[in-house]
Amino acid sequence: MTSIAEQFGRDDWVRFTPKQKFTRWAILLGCGLAIAWALTSIEVVWAWVWGAPEQISDLFGRMYPPDPSNLGTILRVLWDTVNIATFATAFAVLFSLPVAYIAAQNTTPNQVTLWLGRLILVTSRSVNTIIWALLFVAIFGPGVVAGIVAIMFRSIGFIGKLLGEAIEEIDTRPVEALEATGASRFKVIVYAIVPQVMPTFWAVAILRWDINLRESTVLGLVGAGGIGIILQGAIDTFNWPEVATILIAIIVLVIIGEVISAFLRRRIL
């Protein structure tokens, strides 16, 4: 009867060599130093940080009780907000389909279209919705249209990117099988690619609608329509009770949106 140690000749094992251990500790130390340096280099007024709890209770005091006298207008504008999000999502879904198709490596016709697709996605995604909104308010003037277009532009990148990745990750074997039947490229897409991408398509569209609902609530801050306009008006006039009503309305809207998208996800997927 021989022991394991005798059979294999050794009974100790370590995960990292001393050199690896040293490197790991050095990296940890480096990260710690970077954080410490970053904290000292930003100019924080610590008195304001410590005074925050007092300010919070003061603000809440001024907001309470919420003033519902303007509730009619608030709800109407909130409905605008929902419409901005919904139309923008619908258009974005439509426009992102061809973009996803040319931005996916396995379906794009050639290298030029691949890079065109990627360029569209990157441009759309690297610019924040608020910045797109500033741009489109300058073009279309203040209002709902600028908001819809701004959110649409931002969403095309998001939906196109995720859909393009879904296209790249499909099982290629059915595609091969349908090519072998002599089907044209378009028919192969309709029969072998579209069915595989469908679940992702719906999931992404619902998720983006959910995000757009929240994004459209701030568009009004730059004049692009929706609830943000009256929110800013109320803040500017120190009408804190109305601010409270608006914030509650937004929270309720977002929760309803969450419930609807969760329901759709369950039903469709």
Partner 1 sequence: MLKITDLVKRYGSGDPVLKNLDLTIEGESVVSIIGSSGAGKSTLLRCINRLVEPTSGSINLNGTELTSLRGKNLRAARRKIGMVFQSFNLVDRLTVMENVQSGRLGYISTWAAVTRRYPKKDIRRAFELMERVGIAHYANTRADQLSGGERQRVGVVRALMQDPDILLADEPTASLDPKTSEQIMGLLRDLAGELKLPVVINIHNVTEAKEYTDRIVGMRYGRIIFDDKPAQLDQAAMDEIYAGSPHADRTDDMAAAS
Smaller CB separation from partner 1, 133 or 188 = 188
Q: Per-residue x/- marks for partner 1, 64-103, CB under 8 A?
A: ----------------------------------------
Cα distances from 91 to residues 129, 142, 154, in angstroms, run 15, 20, 11
Q: Which of 191, 116, 218 is nearest to 160 (CA)?
A: 116
Does 183 contact partner 1 by CB under 8 A? yes
List the one residue from 13, 48, 50, 186 that touches partner 1 (CB under 8 A). 186
Q: How far is the CB of 212 from partner 1 (least distance, A)?
A: 27
Cα–Cα distance measured from residue 68 to residue 242, given in angstroms and rounded to the nearest whole number: 7
Q: How far is the CB of 185 from partner 1 (least distance, A)?
A: 9
Cα–Cα distance measured from residue 118 to residue 265, given in angstroms and rounded to the nearest whole number: 28
List the one residue from 73, 105, 123, 184 that touches partner 1 (CB under 8 A). 184
List helix spans (H) across the chain: 4-8, 18-41, 46-50, 52-63, 71-103, 111-126, 129-140, 144-168, 172-180, 185-188, 194-216, 228-236, 240-268
Chain positions 193 to 222 lying near partner 1, rule: CB under 8 A, are: 195-196, 198-199
Q: How far is the CB of 97 from partner 1 (least distance, A)?
A: 15
Q: How far is the CB of 231 from partner 1 (least distance, A)?
A: 44
Query: Residue length, the chain?
Result: 269
Does 13 contact partner 1 by CB under 8 A? no
Smaller CB separation from partner 1, 70 or 196 = 196
List the one residue from 68, 174, 233, 241 that touches partner 1 (CB under 8 A). 174
Q: Which of 149, 166, 91, 157 is nearest to 120 (CA)?
A: 157
How big is the site for partner 1, counted in residues (CB under 8 A)? Answer: 22
- As a whole number of angstroms, the longest Cα–Cα distance in the chain is 89
Q: How far is the CB of 11 from partner 1 (least distance, A)?
A: 38
Cα distances from 173 to residues 163, 176, 177, 200, in angstroms, run 19, 5, 6, 19
Does 182 contact partner 1 by CB under 8 A? yes
Smaller CB separation from partner 1, 6 or 171 = 171
Smaller CB separation from partner 1, 122 or 198 = 198
Chain-centre distance of CA 252, in angstroms?
Answer: 20
Q: Which residues bind partner 1 (CB under 8 A)?
A: 171, 173-174, 176-184, 186-188, 190-192, 195-196, 198-199
